[in-house]
Amino acid sequence: MGGYDRTITMFSPDGRLYQVEYAREAVKRGTTAVGIKCRSGVVLLVDKRVGSRLLEPSSIEKIFKIDEHIGVASSGLVGDARALVERARVEAQSNRITYGEPIDVETLAKKLCDHMQTYTLFGGARPYGTALLLAGVDIGADGKAHYRLFETDPSGTLLEYMATGIGIGRQAVMKLFEEEYKEGLSAEEAVLLGLKALYTATEGKFDMNTVEIGVAGEYSKKRAVKKVVESPTGSTTQILSFRKLTAEEVKSAVAKFSKTVKKEEKAE
pLDDT (tens digit, 0 to 9) for every residue of the chain, 268 residues total? 567 787 888 888 888 899 999 999 999 999 999 999 999 999 999 988 877 888 887 888 999 999 999 999 999 999 999 999 999 999 999 999 999 888 999 999 999 999 999 999 988 889 999 999 999 998 877 778 899 999 999 999 999 999 999 999 999 999 999 999 999 999 999 999 999 999 999 876 767 778 999 999 888 766 666 666 665 666 665 566 899 999 899 999 999 998 887 777 666 6
Phi–psi pair at 78, nearest 5 degrees: -65, -40
Rounded Cα distance, 201 and 32, in Å: 8
Task: Tell me 162's DSSP state.
Answer: S
Q: Which of 51, 244, 227, 221 is nearest to 135 (CA)?
A: 244
What residue segments make up the domains of the chain, in order of their start? 25-263
Q: What is the pLDDT of residue 223?
A: 62
> What is the spatial distance between Cα 158 and Cα 148, in angstroms, rounded to a whole number?
13
Active site annotation includes 31: yes
DSSP state of 104: P
Chosen CATH of 25-263 out of 2.60.370.10, 2.30.110.10, 3.60.20.10, 3.40.50.720: 3.60.20.10
Distances (CA, A) of 181 to 11, 145, 202, 250, 251: 39, 22, 19, 21, 23
Kindly compute the dihedral angle of the four CA atoms of residues 4, 132, 37, 139, in this order, to the nearest 10 degrees: -120
Q: What residue ranges in the chain does DSSP mark as E strands?
A: 33-38, 41-47, 63-67, 70-76, 130-139, 145-152, 158-160, 163-166, 211-217, 226-230, 236-240, 242-244
Alpha-carbon distance of 39 to 26, in angstroms, equals: 33
Q: How far is CA 158 from the centre of its chain?
A: 13
Q: Which of 31, 130, 164, 210 is catalytic?
A: 31
**Residues 41 and 240: beta-carbon distance below 8 Å:** yes
